[in-house]
Chain A
Amino acid sequence: MRQRVIIAIALLLDPEIIVADEPTTALDVTIQAEIMALLLDLCEQENVALMLITHDLGVVSQVTQRMLVMYSGRIIEQGPTREIINDAQHPYTQGLINALPQLGEPGARLFQIPGSMPSLKNVPTGCPFHPRCTFATDQCRQTMPEYVQSGSVDVACYEVSNLIEREKRMQEAES
Chain B
Amino acid sequence: MKSDTPLLEVKNLDVRFAVRGGDLTALRGISFSLDKGERLGLVGESGAGKSVAAFSILNLIARPGYIAGGQILFEGRDLAAMSERELRKIRGNRIAMIFQDPMMTLNPVLSIGTQMVEAIKHIVGSARKRRGILR
Contact = CB atoms under 8 A, between A and B. Distances in A.
A15 B130 CA distance: 19
Interface string B87-110: 000001111111111100110000
B47 A49 contact: no
A54 B46 CA distance: 10
B42 interface: yes
A114 interface: no
Given A7-B98, A96-B43, 14 more contacts: A6-B102, A13-B92, A15-B93, A20-B97, A50-B40, A53-B43, A55-B43, A57-B43, A65-B38, A65-B39, A67-B40, A117-B46, A117-B47, A120-B25
A148 interface: no
A139 interface: no
Interface string A61-82: 0011111111111110010010
Given A49-B39, A51-B54, A119 B47 contact: yes
Contacts of A64: 39-41
A61 B36 CA distance: 19
Contact of A70 (B39, B49, B122): B49
B87 to A, nearest CB: 14
Contacts of B115: 9, 13
B45 to A, nearest CB: 5
Interface residues of B, number: 56
B73 interface: no
Nearest to B93: A13
A48 interface: yes
Contacts, number: 193
A18 B98 contact: yes
Nearest to A72: B48
A170 interface: no
Contacts of A74: 27-30, 49
Nearest to A12: B119
Contacts of B44: 55, 69-71, 96
Contact of B39 (A43, A75, A116): A43
A165 interface: no
B7 interface: yes
A51 B92 contact: no
